[in-house]
């Protein structure tokens, strides 16, 4: 045992070997903040050939005066209080302009009487870590700026999209000055902007056209398609396209090459109705869209429009050059028509059960005493109560009208 102990290095050599085999910077300073011992990692970091070259030097010999003064203040505080400084991140600027970051711990070195005689320091170079941190902060700031711009663009897009929806309705006054037709609509996008669209047109002094569309999906892409549909619809109205079937056929021909490309597959469902205030005739065409409701408040009757299957066409932009058929029914004074997109039927509850067409019909039936203007917000509240959520998951659009009277006063209740 004595032989083994005689071969062991001295305590100072043990300490030096331990220090020199550590990658962290380890140093000792006296009470005047002068280096009295450093390890090889510190010597290399400070630019010395060996650890002995640092002995007797202080931070003023190595760093800028600003950094050296800050380090000196920390060390004087340790001398006064005897309290250690733990893991302080320090930015060091060298005389040549090089900037480094270290996480430094300084512990008071006490003599036998318990007085602070110097310091033990452990420093870890975190320059690369701080650089990555700054780069991440810069990237996050840029992302935040981009997100803010996107949010603002979406907000403006939502305002523009709402401006495309009916702001006022066309008037069809009777000889007594009362409106023969009464229009109402409701629109709510699943996100800032959506893919549902509706419009009311005055075709002439006795006829109104009502268009409702639902573009596949929602969000920016769907919203762009609604803008295209509106433009096409306005052009077709100006060209005085004939029947509702002709109208949807013409729209399909224009939409198909736009929406069906090599990189995308998009479509839109649509329902276009024309009501004649002289005859009470309602004509229309369907392109993969939900069947409208016929509401007869005086009879407390609510039913889906009875349209033959062969007169229901596919969604727009699916089949090239498809010829849509026109259907026709006769309306009576007091009748109401409600058109809607399928978003309201696809609202789900906590069990993932859809609200559905049948429940929508039952809800309209339960509230048949309400005016059409009162019915639309009532329906929205019912589906919200059903889902127990303000976010209903899809775009929703409702469009309807009531035939108050006929131009010639010939409409009769059977």
Statement to judge: residues 112 and 253 lie in one domain? no
Span 4-35, pLDDT tens digits: 445 555 656 666 666 777 788 889 999 999 99
Q: Give me the number of domains the chain comprises.
A: 3
Instruction: Please state whether beta strands 281-287 and 312-313 pair in parallel, antiparallel, or not at all (unpaired).
Output: parallel
Statement to judge: residues 82 and 220 lie in one domain? no
Instruction: Please state whether beta strands 99-110 and 396-403 pair in parallel, antiparallel, or not at all (unpaired).
Output: unpaired
Q: Give the C-alpha separation, 400 to 370, whole Å.
A: 14
Span 385-398, pLDDT tens digits: 999 887 777 889 99
For the full predicted model, state whether its pTM sits above 0.85: no
pLDDT at position 160, please?
73
Span 134-169, pLDDT tens digits: 889 989 989 888 888 877 777 777 777 777 788 999
Statement to judge: residues 114 and 158 lie in one domain? no
Which residue bears the tokens 């929602």?
218
Q: Give the C-alpha separation, 205 to 276, whole Å.
A: 9
Statement to judge: residues 359 and 239 lie in one domain? yes
Element (H, E) at 327: strand 327-330
pLDDT at position 10, please?
60
Q: Give the C-alpha separation, 357 to 291, whole Å.
A: 10
Q: Which of 94, 125, 156 is the last residue of a domain?
A: 125
Give the domain CATH number at 80.
3.30.450.20
Statement to judge: residues 310 and 174 lie in one domain? yes
Give the domain CATH number at 252.
3.60.40.10
- What contacts 269, CB < 8 A, 6 or more positions away? 213, 214, 287, 288, 289, 290, 315, 316, 341, 342
Residue 141 belongs to domain spanning: 129-164
Statement to judge: residues 348 and 206 lie in one domain? yes
Span 55-98, pLDDT tens digits: 999 999 988 888 889 999 999 998 889 899 998 888 877 788 88
Statement to judge: residues 40 and 10 lie in one domain? yes
Statement to judge: residues 151 and 192 lie in one domain? no
How does the average pLDDT of the chain come out, rounded?
Answer: 87
H runs (alpha helix) in 260-387:
356-366, 372-387
Span 89-121, pLDDT tens digits: 888 777 888 888 889 999 998 888 888 889 889
pLDDT at position 16, please?
67
What is the strand order of the sheet 116-125 is part of?
A: 35-38, 25-30, 116-125, 99-110, 85-93
239 has pLDDT over 50: yes
């Amino acid at each position: 045992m004595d032989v083994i102990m005689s071969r062991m290095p001295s305590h100072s050599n043990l300490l030096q070997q331990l220090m020199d085999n550590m990658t962290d910077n380890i140093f000792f300073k006296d009470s005047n903040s002068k280096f009295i011992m450093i390890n090889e990692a510190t010597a290399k970091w400070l630019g010395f050939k060996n650890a002995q070259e640092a002995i007797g030097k202080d931070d003023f010999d190595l760093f800028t005066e600003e950094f050296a003064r800050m380090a000196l203040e920390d060390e004087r505080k340790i001398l006064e209080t005897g309290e250690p400084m733990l893991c302080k991140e320090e930015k060091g600027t060298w005389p040549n302009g090089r900037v480094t970051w270290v996480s430094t711990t300084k512990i008071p070195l006490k003599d036998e009487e318990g007085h602070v005689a110097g310091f033990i320091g452990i420093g870890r170079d975190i320059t690369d870590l701080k650089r990555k941190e700054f780069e991440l902060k810069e990237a996050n700031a840029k992302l935040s700026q981009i997100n803010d711009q996107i949010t603002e663009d979406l907000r403006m897009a939502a305002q523009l999209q709402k401006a495309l929806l009916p702001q006022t309705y066309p008037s069809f006054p009777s000889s007594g000055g009362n409106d023969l037709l009464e229009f109402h609509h409701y629109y709510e996008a699943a996100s800032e902007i959506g893919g549902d669209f509706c419009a009311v047109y005055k075709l002439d002094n006795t006829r109104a056209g009502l268009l409702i569309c639902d573009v596949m999906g929602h969000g920016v892409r769907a919203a762009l398609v609604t803008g295209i549909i509106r433009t096409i619809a306005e052009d077709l109205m100006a060209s005085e396209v004939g029947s509702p079937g002709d109208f949807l056929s013409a729209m399909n021909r224009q939409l198909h090459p736009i929406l069906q490309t090599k990189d995308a597959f998009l479509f839109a469902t649509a329902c276009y109705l024309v009501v004649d205030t002289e005859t009470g005739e309602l004509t229309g065409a369907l392109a993969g869209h939900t069947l409208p409701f016929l509401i007869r408040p005086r009879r407390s009757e609510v039913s889906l429009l009875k349209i033959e299957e062969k007169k229901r066409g596919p969604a727009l932009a699916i089949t090239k050059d498809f010829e849509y058929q026109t259907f026709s029914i006769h309306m009576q004074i007091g009748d109401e028509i409600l058109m809607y997109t399928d978003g309201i039927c696809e609202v789900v509850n906590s069990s993932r059960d859809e609200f559905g067409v049948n429940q929508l019909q039952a809800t309209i039936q339960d509230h048949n005493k309400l005016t059409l203007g009162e019915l639309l917000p009532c329906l929205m509240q019912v589906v919200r109560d059903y889902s127990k959520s303000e976010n209903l998951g899809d775009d929703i659009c409702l469009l309807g009208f009531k035939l108050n009277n006929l131009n010639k006063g010939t409409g009769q209740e059977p």
